[in-house]
Amino acid sequence: MVFKQNETYILDGESPDDFMIYPVSNKVGCPAPLTLDTAEIGFELAENVQRNVAIWISHSGPIMFDGAVISPLKGIDTYFDPNSDDCINFDYITNARGWVDSTYREYNLLIPTGNETDPNVWLVYDLTRKRWYKKDTGTSNMPICGFPVFSEEGNQYIYGGLTTGYMMRLENGTDWDGANIQQRVETGDFWPTGNIWQQTLIRRLKIVTKKIVESATLEVLYYRDTDLEVGENVTFRDGDVVFTDGDVAWSSPTTITLDISLAGSTERLARDTEPLNKLGWSHRFAFILETNSTTNGFRPIYWGIQYVYARDDLGTES
């Protein structure tokens, strides 16, 4: 393959007699050469159809090529939207880096965003689940490049280079350069009844997850009505509900925090049911766990809610 900034070609042939240049795209190229890598792991394009693929980023976002068709890897469009605060710094797109981790079947992408010139955002594409997720090193050092290293036995490891001049082996150990590793699973905003014209009262939350030896606490955050930050408590009084027990009164802060211990005892699973009594027209949960000595930290088995329809959502304010 041969690339220009906005063009892609395939070179084919074994001698001058049969050498050919085949255009693949005159609109999609590779402005960040060091993001180009190949996934030689049988990427599933469709059911029972697997191919080795090349992956890189263009000015419009991540691209995958299976030797026949160029396809965008959707899911992180905001980082390539000039109107977004998270947009890649196109002036320094050549500083972006990408590599395939064949052990975990992932494509890692480091990009500079905003006014940054070095990569400050780490995105990962799961080649099995076909989804993106973000890695955040917090205040700890973040790699600005990554590359495979092979042992004499043929084992492959990924090393990252830091701005401090040091290299570190990635996906190794149970902490990040001495700092805790945070695992976060967050739902989208949802309507329990599936009806946007109804407000619901979430009575209880149940969460079951695997226990760990390390002393750690699972933090559960609840957000109502698409709130992003902690707000003031709001008290609702409403007798027009499908259940009656005198005057129905409840307090529904925009966020709540629950703590569930995952260590101790001999049971394989940790289970907890918490009363919530939270009213809203939409609901969202986040589950957060920080560990530093556990190989597999947060491993949820299931979670669920009990809820009731409270009233119609006909107003413009909660």
Q: What is the pLDDT of residues 143-188, one digit of tens each?
A: 999 999 999 998 999 999 998 899 999 999 888 888 888 998 899 9
Locate CATH 2.60.120 in the chain.
Answer: 183-312
Minimum mean pLDDT among 50-54, 94-98, 167-171: which range?
A: 50-54
pLDDT of residue 47: 67
Is residue 265's pLDDT more than 70?
no
d(CA 157, CA 195): 49
Is residue 116's pLDDT more than 50?
yes
Determine the average pLDDT of the residues in 260-277.
78
If we measure between CA atoms, which residue out of 142, 157, 205, 176 comes closest to residue 297?
A: 176
Instruction: Give the fold, CATH level 3, of 183-312.
Output: Jelly Rolls (2.60.120)
pLDDT of residue 82: 96
Determine the average pLDDT of the residues in 117-137.
94
Is residue 74's pLDDT more than 90?
yes
Is residue 238's pLDDT more than 70?
no
pLDDT of residue 27: 93
Copy the structure tokens of residue 54: 């090349």
Is residue 232's pLDDT more than 90?
no
* Burial (CB count within 10 angstroms: exposed 0-12, middle 13-18, buried 19+), residue 276: buried
pLDDT of residue 240: 34
Is residue 123's pLDDT more than 50?
yes
d(CA 144, CA 95): 8
pLDDT of residue 69: 87
Say if residues 95 and 117 touch (Cβ distance below 8 Å).
yes
Minimum mean pLDDT among 38-47, 83-92, 233-242: which range?
A: 233-242
Question: How would you classify the pairing of strands 2-3 and 8-12?
Answer: antiparallel
* Burial (CB count within 10 angstroms: exposed 0-12, middle 13-18, buried 19+), residue 275: exposed
Q: Which residue has better confidence, 248 or 294?
A: 294
Determine the average pLDDT of the residues in 271-284.
88
Is residue 249's pLDDT more than 90?
no
Is residue 259's pLDDT more than 80?
no
Is residue 237's pLDDT more than 60?
no
pLDDT of residue 316: 64
Is residue 236's pLDDT more than 50?
no
Q: What share of the chain in percent tops pLDDT 70?
A: 84
Determine the average pLDDT of the residues in 279-299.
89
d(CA 283, CA 310): 14
Which residue's entry shows tokens 């289970």?
271
pLDDT of residue 212: 84
